[in-house]
Protein backbone atom coordinates (compact mmCIF):
# COMPACT_ATOMS: atom_id res chain seq x y z
CA UNK A 1 0.00 0.00 0.00
CA UNK A 2 2.79 2.43 0.90
CA UNK A 3 4.65 1.63 -2.34
CA UNK A 4 1.49 2.21 -4.39
CA UNK A 5 0.90 5.54 -2.64
CA UNK A 6 4.46 6.68 -3.32
CA UNK A 7 4.14 5.67 -6.99
CA UNK A 8 0.95 7.71 -7.29
CA UNK A 9 2.53 10.69 -5.58
CA UNK A 10 5.55 10.47 -7.84
CA UNK A 11 3.29 10.40 -10.87
CA UNK A 12 1.48 13.51 -9.74
CA UNK A 13 4.78 15.21 -8.96
CA UNK A 14 5.69 14.70 -12.60
CA UNK A 15 2.35 16.15 -13.65
CA UNK A 16 2.82 19.24 -11.50
CA UNK A 17 6.44 19.83 -12.42
CA UNK A 18 5.68 19.57 -16.13
CA UNK A 19 2.92 22.18 -15.81
CA UNK A 20 5.21 24.78 -17.30
CA UNK A 21 5.80 26.60 -20.54
CA UNK A 22 7.25 24.57 -23.41
CA UNK A 23 8.37 25.53 -26.91
CA UNK A 24 6.52 24.13 -29.89
CA UNK A 25 8.11 23.32 -33.24
CA UNK A 26 7.54 26.84 -34.54
CA UNK A 27 9.47 28.34 -31.66
CA UNK A 28 6.39 29.89 -30.07
CA UNK A 29 5.64 29.39 -26.40
CA UNK A 30 2.80 27.06 -25.70
CA UNK A 31 1.33 26.52 -22.25
CA UNK A 32 0.90 22.91 -21.22
CA UNK A 33 -1.97 21.69 -19.11
CA UNK A 34 -1.81 23.04 -15.58
CA UNK A 35 -3.22 22.44 -12.14
CA UNK A 36 -6.68 23.62 -11.12
CA UNK A 37 -7.88 24.15 -7.56
CA UNK A 38 -11.66 23.94 -7.26
CA UNK A 39 -13.27 24.54 -3.90
CA UNK A 40 -16.44 25.35 -2.02
CA UNK A 41 -16.19 27.24 1.26
CA UNK A 42 -18.81 28.60 3.64
CA UNK A 43 -16.78 29.88 6.59
CA UNK A 44 -13.54 30.66 4.66
CA UNK A 45 -11.57 27.77 6.20
CA UNK A 46 -11.60 25.71 3.01
CA UNK A 47 -10.93 28.87 1.02
CA UNK A 48 -7.77 29.45 3.06
CA UNK A 49 -6.52 25.93 2.27
CA UNK A 50 -7.39 26.36 -1.42
CA UNK A 51 -5.53 29.64 -1.67
CA UNK A 52 -2.49 28.11 0.05
CA UNK A 53 -2.43 25.23 -2.45
CA UNK A 54 -2.89 27.51 -5.44
CA UNK A 55 -0.12 29.83 -4.29
CA UNK A 56 2.37 27.05 -3.59
CA UNK A 57 1.66 25.25 -6.89
CA UNK A 58 1.13 28.38 -8.99
CA UNK A 59 -2.20 26.81 -9.93
CA UNK A 60 -5.41 28.24 -11.29
CA UNK A 61 -8.16 28.55 -8.70
CA UNK A 62 -11.95 28.85 -8.80
CA UNK A 63 -14.63 28.87 -6.15
CA UNK A 64 -17.77 26.78 -6.61
CA UNK A 65 -20.63 29.23 -6.16
CA UNK A 66 -24.29 28.51 -5.38
CA UNK A 67 -27.15 30.12 -7.28
CA UNK A 68 -28.88 30.46 -3.91
CA UNK A 69 -26.11 30.74 -1.26
CA UNK A 70 -26.47 29.15 2.13
CA UNK A 71 -27.28 31.30 5.12
CA UNK A 72 -24.11 32.12 7.05
CA UNK A 73 -25.87 31.13 10.28
CA UNK A 74 -24.87 27.59 11.24
CA UNK A 75 -28.29 26.25 12.27
CA UNK A 76 -30.03 27.73 9.23
CA UNK A 77 -27.54 26.00 6.96
CA UNK A 78 -27.95 22.70 8.80
CA UNK A 79 -31.73 22.93 8.55
CA UNK A 80 -31.63 23.66 4.83
CA UNK A 81 -29.20 20.83 4.17
CA UNK A 82 -31.36 18.38 6.11
CA UNK A 83 -34.45 19.44 4.19
CA UNK A 84 -32.67 19.10 0.84
CA UNK A 85 -31.29 15.68 1.79
CA UNK A 86 -34.73 14.46 2.80
CA UNK A 87 -36.11 15.58 -0.57
CA UNK A 88 -33.17 14.10 -2.46
CA UNK A 89 -32.21 17.38 -4.10
CA UNK A 90 -28.88 19.14 -4.48
CA UNK A 91 -28.31 22.91 -4.49
CA UNK A 92 -27.85 24.48 -7.90
CA UNK A 93 -24.36 25.79 -8.63
CA UNK A 94 -23.29 28.48 -11.07
CA UNK A 95 -21.46 27.38 -14.25
CA UNK A 96 -17.70 27.09 -13.89
CA UNK A 97 -15.52 29.61 -15.64
CA UNK A 98 -12.69 27.09 -15.87
CA UNK A 99 -12.63 24.48 -18.62
CA UNK A 100 -11.93 21.18 -16.85
CA UNK A 101 -10.62 19.68 -20.09
CA UNK A 102 -7.65 22.06 -19.94
CA UNK A 103 -6.26 20.44 -16.79
CA UNK A 104 -4.63 17.14 -15.98
CA UNK A 105 -4.61 17.65 -12.21
CA UNK A 106 -7.55 18.95 -10.19
CA UNK A 107 -7.54 19.64 -6.46
CA UNK A 108 -11.09 19.57 -5.08
CA UNK A 109 -11.74 21.18 -1.70
CA UNK A 110 -14.74 21.27 0.58
CA UNK A 111 -15.95 21.31 4.17
CA UNK A 112 -17.17 17.95 5.45
CA UNK A 113 -20.88 17.94 6.24
CA UNK A 114 -22.81 14.86 7.33
CA UNK A 115 -19.68 12.74 6.93
CA UNK A 116 -18.87 13.63 3.34
CA UNK A 117 -18.25 16.56 0.99
CA UNK A 118 -20.67 19.48 1.28
CA UNK A 119 -23.69 19.39 -1.10
CA UNK A 120 -22.29 22.02 -3.52
CA UNK A 121 -19.43 19.62 -4.30
CA UNK A 122 -21.94 16.81 -4.80
CA UNK A 123 -23.61 19.09 -7.37
CA UNK A 124 -20.24 19.80 -8.95
CA UNK A 125 -19.12 16.19 -9.38
CA UNK A 126 -22.51 15.37 -10.90
CA UNK A 127 -21.89 17.96 -13.61
CA UNK A 128 -18.22 17.51 -14.55
CA UNK A 129 -16.18 14.66 -15.98
CA UNK A 130 -12.85 13.95 -14.29
CA UNK A 131 -12.10 10.78 -16.24
CA UNK A 132 -8.38 10.17 -16.61
CA UNK A 133 -7.45 13.15 -14.45
CA UNK A 134 -5.39 13.16 -11.27
CA UNK A 135 -7.72 14.33 -8.51
CA UNK A 136 -6.54 15.39 -5.05
CA UNK A 137 -9.24 15.95 -2.40
CA UNK A 138 -8.69 18.39 0.46
CA UNK A 139 -11.10 19.31 3.19
CA UNK A 140 -11.79 21.00 6.50
CA UNK A 141 -13.88 19.38 9.22
CA UNK A 142 -14.90 19.33 12.85
CA UNK A 143 -13.54 15.88 13.60
CA UNK A 144 -12.94 13.97 10.36
CA UNK A 145 -14.31 12.88 7.00
CA UNK A 146 -11.33 12.93 4.62
CA UNK A 147 -11.38 9.17 4.07
CA UNK A 148 -15.16 8.84 3.71
CA UNK A 149 -15.48 11.82 1.39
CA UNK A 150 -12.58 10.63 -0.79
CA UNK A 151 -14.32 7.27 -1.11
CA UNK A 152 -17.56 8.98 -2.11
CA UNK A 153 -15.66 11.09 -4.63
CA UNK A 154 -14.16 7.95 -6.18
CA UNK A 155 -17.64 6.42 -6.45
CA UNK A 156 -18.98 9.54 -8.15
CA UNK A 157 -16.02 9.73 -10.54
CA UNK A 158 -14.92 6.10 -11.05
CA UNK A 159 -12.66 6.92 -14.00
CA UNK A 160 -10.69 9.61 -12.18
CA UNK A 161 -7.38 8.84 -10.49
CA UNK A 162 -8.09 9.82 -6.89
CA UNK A 163 -4.91 10.43 -4.90
CA UNK A 164 -4.32 10.67 -1.14
CA UNK A 165 -5.71 13.93 0.17
CA UNK A 166 -5.23 16.46 2.94
CA UNK A 167 -7.64 17.34 5.74
CA UNK A 168 -7.49 19.66 8.71
CA UNK A 169 -9.77 20.33 11.67
CA UNK A 170 -11.28 23.79 11.82
CA UNK A 171 -9.83 24.04 15.32
CA UNK A 172 -6.31 23.53 13.92
CA UNK A 173 -6.23 25.99 11.04
CA UNK A 174 -3.12 27.59 12.49
CA UNK A 175 -1.27 24.34 11.78
CA UNK A 176 -2.47 24.18 8.17
CA UNK A 177 0.29 26.11 6.33
CA UNK A 178 3.09 23.99 7.78
CA UNK A 179 1.21 20.71 7.32
CA UNK A 180 0.25 21.63 3.78
CA UNK A 181 3.84 22.50 2.92
CA UNK A 182 4.93 18.99 3.94
CA UNK A 183 2.01 17.45 2.08
CA UNK A 184 2.69 19.33 -1.16
CA UNK A 185 6.42 18.65 -0.99
CA UNK A 186 5.59 15.02 -1.76
CA UNK A 187 3.76 16.05 -4.91
CA UNK A 188 6.60 18.30 -6.00
CA UNK A 189 9.21 15.63 -5.38
CA UNK A 190 11.01 17.79 -2.84
CA UNK A 191 12.89 16.31 0.12
CA UNK A 192 10.55 16.08 3.09
CA UNK A 193 10.20 14.16 6.31
CA UNK A 194 8.25 10.94 5.82
CA UNK A 195 7.18 9.17 9.01
CA UNK A 196 7.43 5.42 9.24
CA UNK A 197 4.28 3.32 9.10
CA UNK A 198 2.52 2.75 12.40
CA UNK A 199 3.60 -0.51 14.07
CA UNK A 200 1.08 -3.08 15.29
CA UNK A 201 -1.27 -1.76 17.93
CA UNK A 202 -1.13 -2.79 21.57
CA UNK A 203 -3.43 -2.35 24.57
CA UNK A 204 -3.30 1.19 25.88
CA UNK A 205 -1.35 1.90 29.03
CA UNK A 206 -2.58 4.28 31.70
CA UNK A 207 -0.29 7.02 30.36
CA UNK A 208 -1.51 6.51 26.78
CA UNK A 209 -5.14 6.53 27.90
CA UNK A 210 -4.46 9.84 29.63
CA UNK A 211 -3.05 11.26 26.39
CA UNK A 212 -6.16 10.16 24.52
CA UNK A 213 -8.52 11.61 27.12
CA UNK A 214 -6.67 14.92 27.16
CA UNK A 215 -6.91 15.15 23.37
CA UNK A 216 -10.63 14.44 23.00
CA UNK A 217 -12.04 15.94 26.19
CA UNK A 218 -14.11 19.01 25.49
CA UNK A 219 -15.09 18.01 21.96
CA UNK A 220 -18.89 17.58 22.09
CA UNK A 221 -19.21 14.99 19.31
CA UNK A 222 -16.80 12.49 20.83
CA UNK A 223 -17.56 10.31 23.83
CA UNK A 224 -14.91 7.69 23.28
CA UNK A 225 -12.80 5.29 25.30
CA UNK A 226 -9.45 4.16 23.92
CA UNK A 227 -8.74 0.43 23.51
CA UNK A 228 -5.52 -0.06 21.56
CA UNK A 229 -2.84 2.24 20.20
CA UNK A 230 0.29 2.53 18.09
CA UNK A 231 2.67 5.47 17.88
CA UNK A 232 5.35 6.85 15.60
CA UNK A 233 7.78 9.74 15.47
CA UNK A 234 6.72 12.67 13.30
CA UNK A 235 8.42 15.92 12.42
CA UNK A 236 7.45 17.85 15.55
CA UNK A 237 6.75 15.14 18.10
CA UNK A 238 4.82 11.90 18.40
CA UNK A 239 1.68 10.82 16.58
CA UNK A 240 -0.66 8.24 18.09
CA UNK A 241 -3.24 6.15 16.28
CA UNK A 242 -5.87 5.04 18.78
CA UNK A 243 -8.61 2.51 18.20
CA UNK A 244 -11.49 3.51 20.45
CA UNK A 245 -15.15 2.85 21.10
CA UNK A 246 -17.30 5.90 20.51
CA UNK A 247 -20.37 5.69 22.75
CA UNK A 248 -23.56 7.74 22.34
CA UNK A 249 -24.37 10.36 24.97
CA UNK A 250 -27.70 10.80 26.69
CA UNK A 251 -27.50 14.57 26.29
CA UNK A 252 -26.70 14.24 22.56
CA UNK A 253 -29.41 12.00 21.08
CA UNK A 254 -28.41 12.94 17.54
CA UNK A 255 -24.93 11.45 17.86
CA UNK A 256 -23.97 8.38 15.79
CA UNK A 257 -24.57 4.97 17.40
CA UNK A 258 -21.79 3.26 19.36
CA UNK A 259 -19.04 2.18 17.00
CA UNK A 260 -15.32 1.49 16.77
CA UNK A 261 -13.38 4.48 15.50
CA UNK A 262 -9.78 5.47 14.87
CA UNK A 263 -8.48 8.69 16.36
CA UNK A 264 -5.20 10.34 15.38
CA UNK A 265 -3.58 12.30 18.21
CA UNK A 266 -0.56 14.58 17.93
CA UNK A 267 1.69 15.42 20.87
CA UNK A 268 4.19 18.13 20.03
CA UNK A 269 7.00 19.19 22.33
CA UNK A 270 5.76 21.33 25.21
CA UNK A 271 2.18 21.26 23.88
CA UNK A 272 -0.98 19.55 25.05
CA UNK A 273 -2.24 16.50 23.12
CA UNK A 274 -4.67 17.30 20.31
CA UNK A 275 -6.60 15.01 18.03
CA UNK A 276 -6.11 15.73 14.36
CA UNK A 277 -8.82 13.57 12.81
CA UNK A 278 -11.30 10.79 13.43
CA UNK A 279 -11.94 7.93 11.01
CA UNK A 280 -15.34 6.31 11.41
Tens digit of each residue's pLDDT (9 = 90 or more) over 113-143: 999 999 999 999 999 999 999 999 999 999 9
Ordered by start, the domain boundaries in the chain are: 2-17+30-188, 202-279
Residue 4 CA to residue 145 CA, distance in Å, equals 22
pLDDT score for 29? 36
Q: How many Å apart are CA 250 and CA 260, to the nearest integer? A: 18
Give φ, ψ of 240 to 5 degrees: -110, 140
Local structure of 117: helix, strand or coil: strand
Tell me what pLDDT residue 252 has.
62
Cα–Cα distance measured from residue 71 to residue 78, given in angstroms and rounded to the nearest whole number: 9
pLDDT tens-digit series, residues 182-238: 999 987 888 888 899 999 999 999 999 999 999 999 898 888 999 999 999 998 899
Q: What is the pLDDT of residues 10-22, one digit of tens each?
A: 555 555 544 443 3
Question: In Å, what is the CA distance from 240 to each residue of 76, 137, 230, 232, 277?
Answer: 36, 24, 6, 7, 11
User: In terms of DSSP H, where are the helices of 164-218?
Assistant: 176-188, 206-216
Give residue 1's pLDDT.
Answer: 46
CA atoms of 150 and 136, how far apart (whole Å): 9
* Domain 2-17+30-188 of CATH type 3.20.20.70: no
Amino acid sequence: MKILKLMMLAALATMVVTSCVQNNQKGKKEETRKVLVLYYSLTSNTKAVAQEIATRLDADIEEVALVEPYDTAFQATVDRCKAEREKGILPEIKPLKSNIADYETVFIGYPVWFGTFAPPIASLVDKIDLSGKWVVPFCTFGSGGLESSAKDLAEKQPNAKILPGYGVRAARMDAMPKELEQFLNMYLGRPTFAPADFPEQHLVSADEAAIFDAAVNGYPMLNAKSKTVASRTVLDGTEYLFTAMDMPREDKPGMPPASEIQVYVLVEKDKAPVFTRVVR
